[in-house]
Chain A
Amino acid sequence: MVRFWRSLRDGSSFDAVLVWLALGYLIVFSAFPLIYNIVISLQTVDLFSIASLNRPFVGLQNYREVLSQPIAGLVFWNTLQFVVLSIVFQLCIGFGLALFFQQDFPGASYLRGLFLAGWIMPALVIGAVWSWILAGDFGVLNYWLRSLGLIDQNIFWLSDPSVSLYSVIIANIWLGVPFNMILLSVGLAAIPHDVYEAAELDGATAWQRFRTITLPLMRAPLGAVISLGVIFTLQQFDLFAALTQGGPSNASNVAQYWSWQLSFQTYQISYGSVVSVLMIVFVIGVAAIYTRSTRHEQAA
């Protein structure tokens, strides 16, 4: 006992205790639910059997039933669109802004930092603000589109099934641009200046410099931003709750919202956990690729 205390004070146990404190917490409240999720997805769990530990195992039957539901295809297609469109636009706008703010002018870094004001807001509040901007009758976005002559009739962004998914995507792009921009700025700042100067002396145009220097050297940061983007868009829930709630008739529903609806609105808890298992496996896959690739960078 005395030896343990001494090693805790002065030796290696000190570090081990510190790490296990946090790791233990994460194992109880993160890793255990993660595994428990798989167990639930193989059982029949509803509001009546939730409290009992003795629940019948049904194997993969829940998976078959969830995947054969007619809306499953729609939801996964929506999720794909949500992720791909969000990332493409966040990346392009974020990259453009990062390049712009890389130039030398007074207040550049301060103004760039202001973009993070959007990132730090509660996403639910951002959703509320956007649902007012996107409102069909009195929304300011429709007013602008009409005064620019782009549309003749108001678009009912949130209640028209053909656009409701895109209205959530618009809000999500807004939310994600600052993070993309800041991360890409870090990458741009790391490119040595004299490479550009040498290229300029050789008579390379701005576009040529971008294509032959910036893009290749930004491969790693771009890869990181894209994988983080996939992870973050799959975490987005609050905007759906504030804007469309997956509706109208699931036109804007995505997997992470559907999983919650199954568990907490229709109380088909095993179905909700099936969707959640499938998506978490996907997220962890993306994350593993990302962390592995960043380790390679460091080693190289």
Chain B
Amino acid sequence: MKKYILLALAILFVAVYLFPLYWMYVTALKPSSEIFQFPPTFWPQDPQFDVADVWTRLQMDRFLTNSLIIAVGTSAIIVAVGTGCAYALARVRSVWMDIALFAILMMQVLPSSLMITPIFVAFSQVGLLEYPRLAVILAQAAKSLPLYIVLCRTAFMQVPRELEEAALVDGNSRIGAFFGVAIPLARNGILVTSVLIFLHAFGEYVYSRSLIGERALQPATVGLQSFMGPNTSDWSGVMTYSAIYVTPILIIFVLLQRRIVSGLTAGALK
């Protein structure tokens, strides 16, 4: 009996916590007249699916394409340079590796909003601002790379060393053992971490806002922000926009929830 009371309480806590997300969806479904009703309705009386309208009116295709480009580019760079580093840090124990790990941990904590000033000045001097999306990708990759390395390192640490040594004895080179044994066995950890990094870059804001001046190249976060002036009245539009934007993220989260939680907790422990 006590178990079911606890379960009911737990569901209540989750419901209270997730209310903002629920409220976003409910508002998105309400017609504008119902939005400003007082007292507010907690279930849309006359639900309207104006997804297509908001999609074209707020030019979401362009914004989401840019977000996607930035997220894909960032993840590609990070996976390319970070995976091997995570592997080496997990396998080799030496003072130099400890120093490298410490340096990487230190770079993980730098806040984007404080790093953007020097990045902006440096990028403008080397002409990178001519390619603003590339500039954001490069900066965001530097921001998320340390986290990727730390989380992937724990994935590689769970791969038994003996399997690789066996491959070496069988005549494999180090490169062969890395690609043939270590990566396939750490695949799940790498995949989940990459998804986290991807989602993070998909919601990136500071760098895009500061480095991308041209409206046609801005990602969805900056687009959303520009529709929310201090006198916003189009709350239905803003919430529909948000709902379209985050629904894929929520779906990925629900599918990977168990792995994300265990990946995070393992990364935090070691």
Contacts and interface: CB of A to CB of B under 8 A. Distances in A.
B52 interface: no
B38 A10 contact: no
B120 A263 contact: yes
Nearest to B260: A116
B116 A10 contact: no
A241 B87 CA distance: 38
A18 B111 contact: no
B89 A40 contact: no
Contacts of B11: 111
Contacts of A40: 117-118, 121
Contacts of B261: 109, 112-113, 116, 182
Contacts of B160: none
Interface residues of B, number: 101
A125 B221 contact: yes
Interface string B134-175: 000011011101100100000000000000000000000111
Contacts, number: 292
B206 interface: yes
B220 to A, nearest CB: 8
Contact of B210 (A21, A37, A131, A264): A264
Nearest to B138: A29
Majority SS at the chain B contact face: helix
Contacts of A124: 203, 205, 221, 224-225
B9 interface: yes
B239 A129 contact: yes
Nearest to B168: A10
Contact of B91 (A15, A16, A107): A15
Nearest 9 interchain pairs by C-beta: A122-B203, A18-B84, A22-B85, A29-B142, A237-B113, A33-B118, A37-B118, A276-B114, A105-B6
Given A40-B117, A122-B204, A177-B17, 15 more contacts: A18-B88, A21-B84, A30-B142, A33-B115, A33-B122, A34-B115, A37-B117, A51-B124, A105-B10, A113-B261, A115-B17, A122-B245, A183-B268, A260-B210, A280-B111
Interface of B: 2-4, 6-7, 9-11, 13-14, 17-18, 20-21, 23-24, 27, 35-36, 38-40, 77, 81-82, 84-85, 87-89, 91-92, 97, 100, 102-122, 124-125, 138-139, 141-143, 145-146, 149, 173-175, 178, 196, 199, 202-206, 209-210, 221, 224-225, 228, 230, 235, 238-239, 242, 245-246, 249-250, 253-254, 257-258, 260-261, 264-265, 268-269
